[in-house]
Structure 1
Amino acid sequence: MEADAESSPRGLELSALEAEKQPMAAAEEGGPAPPGPDPAPPGGEKNGLVKIPQDEELGGAEMSGGCKFTGLGKEELLRAAGAPPWAKARAILLFLFWLGWLGMLGAAAAIVARAPRCRPLPPRTWWELGGLYRAPPQAFAENLKGEGELWGVILGDPPRGGVSPRDPGVAARLEHVAGLQVRGLVLGPLHPQTSGDPRNISLEELDPLLGSLQDFADLLDAAKKKGLQVILDLTPNSLGDNPWFGPEVAGDPNFHEKVKRALSVWLERGVAGFFLDGIEELQPSVVAEWRNLTEQNSPEGVPRVLVGGTRLRAPPALLALLNSSGVGLVLGPFLESLGSDPPASTLAPQLLAFLHPQTPLAWSAMLLDLCRRLGALRVRERSLSLGEAQDIPASPAAAFLRSWDQSERFLVVLNPGDQFLSGLAVQDPRLPSHATLRLSTHRSLPPDPHVDLGALDLLPYEGLLLSFPYTP
């Protein structure tokens, strides 16, 4: 009995193995077929499962509630795939694929062909893309504090104090100037000032009270790292009422040669241009020669510029100077000629007239916060940096539309008078009914900057900058 008990499990295992080897026999005896892997088909690999109904097994399958599955061989799959129905289906799918691909390609070409062409960017130099910060002469005395001016279309109020080559805090001040989004820094004059014969003035020297040439070179390097170009004020008599000491000196060929030599020396020292005040006192041919000397040498691919200053205020004389000056940029006090309360009917045409000459015109003002915000907008918006200006009827205010190609449009509305304007309607086919208020010279932005152009309120002497998207 003990031997039978010990051998019983072994006998069961052998019986199971024999049943696996003889499945048909197990089926004939009426017992269930033991589980096990299906035998491989003659073709070798299995690529799928199909039902194979067998007449002799239908009864057993129906009784057991299922069908037996077996795999197709590789050769059988290849034969099935080569059958006419499958070959035709593949040809149709391939045709539809290429037809769809060609259709999408044609649609893309049509979209590109019908899309509006982007306007090519006009050539612009660095001094046309941003303002210039000026440190006046008194800012360079050790114990004096001056107040700078910002030149250009973007205007602002600079910090107290100037930028001196000897000033140990120059790096921090350059950081502040660069934050105003300006492109250039106007320094000087740096040459020694004299009250004697102007013909003996040394324009090539650096006033020792302002530092050494090494100090100046370090200043140029510091400005370059901040993305600022340095322009040198080389006006012979910058502190006097007459920048050129009178007609006799202004027309002296020997003094012209002295200025020409000084220009060459300072160009070799690395300045990016010069400012000369009172250019209306000089012959245009002389100014043109100095401009050619300044611009012909552009190290590191950075253009150099000759900036002219003028005391002219009358619009006709100023426009004539812009058309004949031969300099890259002119600074003039033309806004003062408009008076403290100019009518809008004359303000808009006069301002637009100064935009047409080839030589750009710049001016100065003292609005630091506005300058910073306008500078940030100008960097991003092409309509402000490149766009044309068009007069928009808005009496008794003055309005201008700045636009460039498909970029966002900007509308400038100015109240030139000392009266509050309520419910001003600025309506034109070029304008939408509503716009977004971006800046104000007198107020902070409201919580909802969307305003109705048919009912604007402007404080006395307030200016508004509004924008709206381009629509074809």
Structure 2
Amino acid sequence: MTLKVEGDPGYGSASARGRFTDLEGSETVPLLIQENQHQQNIWKPLSKEELEKCAGGPEWKRFRSRLVLCFWIGWLIMLGTAVAIIVQSPRAASPSLQWWQKDVFYRLQPALFMDADSEEVSRISRVSERLPYLKSLGVGAVILEGFFRHNSSPPNLTEIDQSLGTLLQFTQLINKSRKAGVRVMLDLCELDLFEQELGNDTEVWSGASEYIQFSLRYWLEYGVSGFGICDTDAAFSAKTLMEWNVLMQEFSSQDDERILMVRQTSNTLPALKVSNITVNGSLVELVTKSLIPSSHHPLSAAEVAEAMEASLQMPQGHWPSWTVGGGVPWELQRAILVLIMTLPGTPVIKYGDEVSPIQKQLNQPLALFQSLAQSRAREEALHFGRFTFLPFNGSMSSSGLNSTATPPLAFLRSWGCVHFLVLFNLGSEPHTLVPDWAPSLPEGGMFVSSTGLDRSGPVSLKSIKMQPHEAIVIKLFESDNSS
């Protein structure tokens, strides 16, 4: 609808002051907006086809490419910052260890395998058959004891005891051990390598020494990784050990070092002297010490705990190697196994120590040994971490505790920010540790292993109740993350 206006021709003309402009003689003004025209002015969302057409346009492509570029630049900046923080963070450098510092040693007497059912299956062959089993336990070296005849004087060091097997079977043992990744060592303890009758006869002594070196060379060429002697042997002298060291170095390489091992039978190792001059430093790689002293009577739990505490507080001058030693009550054997596998140094396990003498518990200690060996293999703190003995100072409580009860023992293995707490209750009564027994330690941790293999998950040090004859290994947290 339109309105037509007609009027004076001067209508709309400008006055003298120029206030208006001249308009047409007639004017059409829309008074109402048609409905279809109103709908055309209303905003409508784009359809799918229109959106796809716009998204493919050059402006959207540039926007998306810039957005992706900003994302990757930001991600790279965060990654570089994280790497810089890790690199600049102080971290203890892991020392380079030799194989004899990392492996678990296993003492074995081939004569114990009396189940050879025919002449073709010798005791040495039985040892060969057990190599995969030993490797599955985490054993890295086998020490063969009783390998030579003891009744021959002087002993023939180039001939195997015929009751054990032949040289060919020993060669097969060496080949199988290389494939299994298990080294073989020969024990020479108590063989009386230098007869007492030699006296001060220098010429005869020199001839015996040459024969022994020839014998050692003979077995080294077959692939033997080293030899062990006792500190009571006549061969334990600075002169002999220096000669043997030269021979060991001749057959050693960067990845295959040949070693000498001494079994310490007394509380301290005898001093070595050459021309009245004490030799500084050790002429052997390993000195095996007994945790439990030999005794003519079965030791009680209190005596074992006392011997353990004395061994743990004894300063160690060289890389230590530990074995059980004297007789231990069967109920404490699993706790002693935990001790051997968590102490600093090289553990030396005797044949049968990995299993229990009680047939019904045969599988449990075997699983315990595997658990400890795996933890020791992957944790730096259990390999070369710092050792700290933790005295309780009577800070404990126990249900029914009396003055004759065996107190618990504990020590800490630390490397960097990683800490392992090892607890022992060797007594026959349960012990509940009071909350403030170790205020300097983190409050929370995670169970790693225990003698009963019945502990797992997070734990708070304020709520540990130790069962009789129990040992526990806990990996501590720097902050309390336990529930």
Deviates more, 1:114-123 or 1:423-432: 423-432
Mapped to 2, the partners of 1:438 and 1:188 lie a distance apart of 33
Q: Is the 8 A contact 2:428 2:468 kept in 1?
A: yes
| Matches for 1:356-367 after TM superposition, within 5 Å | 356-364=316-324, 366-367=353-354
Which residue in the other structure is 1:404 paired with? Answer: 415
What's the CA shift string for 1:426-464, capped at 9, x where partnerless?
Answer: 7435522233333223x3414x64433224333444322
Higher Cα Rg, which structure? 1
Change (3 A) 1:301 1:228: same
Letter in 1 for 2:323: W
- Secondary structure of the residue that 1:333 maps to in structure 2? strand
Aligned to 2:171: 217
State the 1:228 CA deviation.
0.5
Give the structure with the larger helix fraction: 1
Q: Which residue of 1 aligns with 2:85?
A: 114
Per the alignment, residue 456 of structure 1 pairs with 464
Distance 1:277 1:141 in 2: 27
Which residue does 2:449 correspond to in 1? 439
Q: CA offsets per residue over residues 164-197 of structure 1, 9 Å max, x none?
A: 86555444322221121110111244333334x4
Partners of 2:167 and 2:115 in 1: CA distance: 17
| 2:185–2:226 Cα contact (<8 Å) kept | yes
> 2:125, 2:173 within 8 Å by CA — same for their partners in 1?
no
Inter-CA distance 167–283: structure 2 relative to 1 (3 Å threshold): closer
Shift in CA distance, 254/235, structure 1 to aligned 2, threshold 3 Å: farther
Separation of aligned partners in 1, 2:303 and 2:436: 19
Shift of 1:301: 3.0
Describe the shift of the 1:294–1:142 C-alpha distance in structure 2 as closer, same or farther (beyond 3 A): farther
Q: Determine whether 1:255 maps to 2:255.
A: no
What's the CA shift for 1:320?
Answer: 6.4
Q: What's 1:132 paired with?
A: 105
- SS for the counterpart of 1:209 is coil
CA distance in 2, matches of 1:431, 1:440: 20
- Corresponding position of 2:381: 383
Given the two structures, how large is their TM-score scaled by the length of structure 2? 0.62
Aligned twin of 1:5: none
The unaligned stretches of length 5 or more in structure 1 are 1-57, 67-79, 145-163
Give the counterpart letter for 1:388 in structure 2.
R
SS of corresponding position for 1:208: coil
Paired residues of 1:319 and 1:357 also in contact (CA < 8 A): no
1:19-70 alpha-carbon deviations (Å, 9 max, x no partner) = xxxxxxxxxxxxxxxxxxxxxxxxxxxxxxxxxxxxxxx99x98xxx9xxxx
Task: Give the alignment of 1:44-443 within 5 angstroms.
Answer: 104-115=75-86, 116-136=89-109, 138-139=111-112, 167-195=124-152, 197-198=153-154, 201-235=155-189, 237=191, 252-278=205-231, 281=234, 282-298=236-252, 301-312=255-266, 314=267, 317-318=268-269, 324-336=281-293, 340=300, 341-342=302-303, 347-348=308-309, 350-354=311-315, 356-364=316-324, 366-368=353-355, 369=365, 370-395=368-393, 396-407=407-418, 409-425=419-435, 427-441=437-451, 443=452
Distance 1:246 1:189, change over 3 A: same
Q: 1:230 is matched by which residue type in structure 2? A: V
CA-to-aligned-CA distance 1:81-108 (integer Å, 9 cap, x gap): 7xxxx7xx96x99988877766554443
Query: Which AA in structure 1 matches 2:314?
Result: A
Paired residue type of 1:190: F
Q: 1:95 and 1:306 mapped to 2: Cα distance?
A: 67
Q: Does the 8 Å CA contact 1:345/1:398 hold for their aligned counterparts? A: no
- Partners of 2:171 and 2:222 within 8 A in 1: yes
Report the 3-state secondary structure (helix = DSSP H, G, I; strand = E; otherwise coil) of the residue aligned with 1:326.
coil
* Aligned counterparts of 1:346 and 1:169: Cα–Cα separation in 2: 36
User: 1:298-331, CA deviations, whole angstroms, 9 ceiling, x for partnerless residues?
Assistant: 369322221111211x2xx249689854211122
Distance in 2 of aligned mates of 1:392 and 1:118: 25
Amino acid at match of 2:448: R
Query: C-alpha displacement at 1:217, in angstroms?
Result: 0.9
By how many angstroms is 1:375 displaced?
A: 0.9
Q: How far did residue 218 of structure 1 move? A: 0.7
Q: How many residues align?
A: 363
Aligned residue identity for 1:172: E
AA of the residue aligned to 2:151: T
2:270 and 2:477 map into 1 onto residues whose CA distance is 34
- Note closer, same or farther for the CA distance 1:452–1:229 as it changes in structure 2 (3 Å cut): same
Output the amino acid matched with 2:210: E
Give the secondary structure class of the aligned counterpart of 2:472.
strand
Using the alignment, how far apart are the partners of 2:308 and 2:144 within structure 1? 32
SS of 2:244's equivalent in the other structure is helix
Note the C-alpha offset of 1:122.
Answer: 1.0
CA distance in 2, matches of 1:404, 1:319: 32
SS in structure 2 opposite 1:390? strand
CA distance in 1, matches of 2:409, 2:197: 40
Question: How far, CA to CA, are the matches of 1:289 and 1:248 in structure 2?
Answer: 19
What SS is found at the alignment partner of 2:293?
A: helix
The CA distance in 1 between the partners of 2:67 and 2:309, in whole Å, is 63
